[in-house]
Amino acid sequence: MSSKNDEVPEKKETLLVKYLRVFFAVALYWGVSISMVFINKYLLKSDQLKLNAPMFVTWFQCVVTVALCVICSQLSSSMPNLLTFPSTKFDAKLSREALPLSVVFVLMISFNNLCLGEVGVAFYTIARSLVTIFSLIFTYFILGKKTTLPALACCGIILGGFFLGVNQQGASLDGISVKGTIYGVFSSSMVALNAIYIKKVLPSMDNNIWKMTFYNNINACVIFVPFIVLTEIREIASFPHILNLHFWSLMFTAGFFGFIMGYVVGFEIKVTTPVTHTVSGVAKACLQTVIAVIYNQDVKSALWWFSNIMVLFGTGSYSVVKSMDMKREHAATVAKQTDEGGEEKVRLV
């Protein structure tokens, strides 16, 4: 009886709900990601710990994530009214489905932590600012989606900011870490690929982010082991704080954030797009840079700051372009639904 009256408000509300969901997803991702970067930086580079074993640190985070998934699944079975979580009963088929994502995930995290081990958090933003560029390239070649000219212009600004930032870091007293920059570029490419593969793998996991997180981290735990044995076992064995309670409390904290991170990344990509997720990551990294510079009391040149502003401006402009695209797509969907409804009425008559 009230279907016509209810139909218009529902359509008006839909876009608002979409925006609120995107805002919540981005805010959650920023908070968890920034916290995790600083914890990992402390574990890998601080004077107090300085554990030169980034793959071991990441492997442990994956182990904690798998353990927390199993615990949540058991709690869900015991108390279904309080907690809903998918079953963690192992399925080899689902594990194979997640394998391409897991390989990219392992490479992404490895290069990410290798980059953090070579450069400061402030330069880490510059080293990682190519994510949007790689995302557009991979989105075109893997998903077959074209990019508009305004979006490409925004990427040109981001690219200019990257090269200016590298130039200014080389001119600074700290100097440029070639290895750190290379690791950052590879990390950027893997972050872009990771976002795309999450979008591809999620449907095979019943669009359940927790299920995807569980299988992705199980695969990652296995993939990491040979690399740790071959490259980091001596470093771990000789680490003076290996039995230190403070060290393990930080490792478990990082593991917990890794568990949450698996969800928030998938959630942000699910409610937006792989490219929007990478743009969000670049903007988050700029805020991260400001926090790092203030905390470490670093002195940076005006051009160095300008390079960050270029990256942020390019990213913000890209967000505006994508927001306009989202509005157009939403309007087209509503118009299509309206036309289909009209055609159906004509047929009935």
Q: Which of 57-71, 260-274, 331-345 has the highest mean pLDDT?
A: 57-71
Say yes or no to pLDDT of 120 above 50: yes
Q: Distance of alpha carbon 32 from its chain centroid, rounded?
A: 10
Which is more confident, 307 or 1?
307
- Quote the pLDDT of residue 135: 78
The 10s digit of each residue's pLDDT in 300-339 is 788 878 887 887 788 778 777 877 777 777 777 777 777 6
Which is more confident, 276 or 324?
324
C-alpha pair distances (Å), 242 with each of 53, 110, 208, 251: 12, 21, 36, 11
Output 69-78 pairs: Cβ under 8 A, ≥24 positions apart: 69/210, 69/213, 69/214, 69/217, 69/259, 72/210
Say yes or no to pLDDT of 266 above 80: no
Tell me the C-alpha distance between 8 and 4, whole Å.
Answer: 7
Q: How confident is the model at residue 343 (pLDDT cuts 50, 70, 90)?
A: low
- Quote the pLDDT of residue 6: 44
Give the domain range for residue 42: 3-348
The 10s digit of each residue's pLDDT in 166-221 is 777 665 545 567 787 788 888 888 888 888 888 889 899 988 888 998 999 999 99
- Quote the pLDDT of residue 65: 92
Q: Measuring CA to CA, which residue among 51, 82, 81, 88 is closest to residue 66?
A: 88
pTM tops 0.85 = no
Residue type, 282: V
- Quote the pLDDT of residue 97: 93
CA angle 93-97-102, nearest 5°?
A: 125
12 exposure class (CB count in 10 Å sphere: 0-12, 13-18, 19+): exposed
Domain count within the chain: 1
